[in-house]
Amino acid sequence: MAAEQKLKEMGLELGPVGTPVANYVPAVRTGNLLYVAGHIAGKPDGSVLNPGKVGRDVTEEQAYESAKLAMLNCLASIKGALGDLDKVKRVVKLLVMVNADPEFDRHFVVANGASDLLVELYGDQGRHARSAVGMSGLPRKSCVEIEMILEVEE
């Protein structure tokens, strides 16, 4: 089944590709690798889902949902770069950055918001290496930011 159709069946849809607010591009392809820039849980209206620090302003569950939205934003940029989400051969690596209170230690649970979506969408092709790390702050007070590396069709 096509990835976009599967997203629809999951009750999810891709938003528009956001315009970078700094000097970078959403994704860069080199050979059969696609490097996806950091994406936050930005909504189409320009606001951020669940801004603040996880463990203080934002619950673990809210941050999980924010990671899911950030991944949908990554997927929108992937579609923009490749023209089709089905050109993804393998999700190689995620870096999930969590804007966390210093006492919060469950970054891996937040990161599962993105990982669970990828595995549900792509199956074994969506399984990936991952780092989930705490940060003292992220752009626009987002509680999560995700960047990724993909293997794509030639």
CATH number at residue 101: 3.30.1330.40
Q: If you write DSSP's letter for every residue of 63-101 in order, what string do you get?
A: HHHHHHHHHHHHHHHHHHHHS-GGGEEEEEEEEEEEEB-
The range of the structural domain enclosing residue 91 comes to 32-152
* pLDDT interval class at 19 (50, 70, 90): confident
Please choose, from the candidates 17, 62, 50, 11, the residue with its C-alpha nearest in 3D space to the C-alpha of residue 36: 17
Model confidence at 20, pLDDT cuts 50, 70, 90, reads confident
48 within a domain of the structure (yes/no): yes
Least confident of 15-24, 27-36, 69-78, 108-117: 15-24
Is residue 4 included in any domain, yes or no?
Answer: no
pLDDT above 90: residue 1: no
Residue 139 lies in a domain: yes
Residue 56's pLDDT is what? Answer: 98
Residue 98: inside a domain, yes or no? yes
Q: Does 26 fall in a domain?
A: no
Helix (H, G, I), strand (E, B) or coil at 75: helix
| Total of domains in the chain | 1
pLDDT in tens, 42-77: 999 999 999 999 999 999 999 999 999 999 999 999
Is residue 144 in a domain?
A: yes
Is residue 127 situated within a structural domain?
yes
Are 67 and 110 a contacting pair, CB within 8 Å?
yes
Token pair for 132:
């989930």
Confidence at 12, pLDDT banded by 50, 70, 90: very high
- The predicted model scores a pTM of 0.97
Integer Cα distance of 39 and 54 in angstroms: 17
